[in-house]
Each structure stands twice: as C-alpha cells, then as structure tokens.
Chains A and B, each alone.
Chain A
Amino acid sequence: SQELEQSPQSLIVQEGKNLTINCTSSKTLYGLYWYKQKYGEGLIFLMMLQKGGEEKSHEKITAKLDEKKQQSSLHITASQPSHAGIYLCGADMNSGGSNYKLTFGKGTLLTVNP
C-alpha cells in the first residue's frame, strides 16, 4: 500500500479558481516537503513543514500541516496557467525525524484552463 496518498490524482480548474491538493498518511509526518514539477523537467522545491499546525505561504500558494502531523494540504488561490504542473509531496516518515530519505506521493496533475 502507498504510504503517502495524494488526492486528487488530477485536477482541471478554470483560471482564477481556488484549489486544494491533499497529502495523507497513516504515519506521522516528521517533515513534509511540497514540490512542483513541470512536464519534462525536474522538481522545484516549494515549501517544507515540520510542526503540527504549521502553515506557510509563498505568493498564492499556502501549505498546511495538521495538528496530528498526518495530513498536509496545498492551497492555490486565484489559479493561473503558470500554476499548471505536477505537485508532489515528500515526507520524512521515520520516527525521531532528522532522516534525509524521503517517501514521495504519486503526484497530482494540475491543469489550469485560461
């Protein structure tokens, strides 16, 4: 079974709409990393969350980690075509934290129609 579940698998939105992508695990997430990937390119780091209840924002993207540290959400406000791509979450799921090996979700493909 997949240790890190992402939902939805794909998402099509109209430009200007808000959207949310989720990343869920049955295990504790000691560090949660969000990446964006454009087709044919590498992954670009967006944000990292560590503490339960933590929230970070960059431009129109907000990421949150729940208090139990088992679910993270990525919210995009007023989406633009430049937001299109694959969003992946990666997590340190080893007890005690401070582990450099990350487990990745399968990704969410976001399409933004003009």
Chain B
Amino acid sequence: NAGVTQTPKFRILKIGQSMTLQCAQDMNHNYMYWYRQDPGMGLKLIYYSVGAGITDKGEVPNGYNVSRSTTEDFPLRLELAAPSQTSVYFCASSYGVYPYEQYFGPGTRLTVT
C-alpha cells in the first residue's frame, strides 16, 4: 500500500493564482483531513470529510475549498492565493471508527509570493 500520497511536494504561487493540492489514500479510509502547519504553530485543521460527498469546515477554512467525489481522493483548492497561505499542507486519513488514528501524507510545501 502507498498509504497517503500528496502532490506536488513543492510549489511557488504568485498572489492571486489558484491551484489544487492533490491527496489520495489507498487504505479505504472513510475519514480524510487537510491541515496546515506553520512554523511553531502546530497543525490547524482546514477541512475534513467523513465520506464521499460529505465535507465540513475545520478551524481555518477561509480561502480554501474541498471536494470528495470518491473515497480515495480529497483535493484541496486554493483560490486567489495570498501570502498568508504560505505553509506546509498535510493530508491525513483515518478509519471511521474509534480510535481514529490518523495516517499522514508527506506534505506539500507552498510559498505564495
């Protein structure tokens, strides 16, 4: 199993550009999550999904959108990129039953200039 995969690994965007961060998992997990990690700030939840067709906002959803058309994929869309969105983005997935251990992807390092 590949686990949780994310593409791209690195990306530089100009202010106002848009992009999609890809995330896929092959563990048949129902739950998927998007986090951002800023230096010294831990992980903040952006969006999450409990199954195909179901998504909900996390702690810091502004400036982002998600979709979940399949169990495997959970892309994160950035519209009108801003410098404040410079961060490392992690996708994670977990089973739909307790204890909800989350498996993380390797991350995407995004810089907006």
Contacts and interface: CB of A to CB of B under 8 A. Distances in A.
B101 A41 contact: no
A89 B31 CA distance: 20
Main secondary structure of the interface of A (DSSP, over half): loop
Interface residues of B, number: 27
B42 A104 contact: yes
15 contacts: A31-B100, A33-B101, A35-B104, A40-B107, A42-B106, A42-B107, A43-B92, A43-B102, A45-B102, A48-B99, A100-B96, A102-B102, A104-B35, A104-B43, A105-B42
B48 A101 contact: yes
Interface residues of A, number: 26
B13 interface: no
Interface of A: 4, 9, 31, 33, 35, 40-45, 48, 50, 88, 90, 92, 97-102, 104-107
A42 B42 contact: no
Nearest to A50: B99
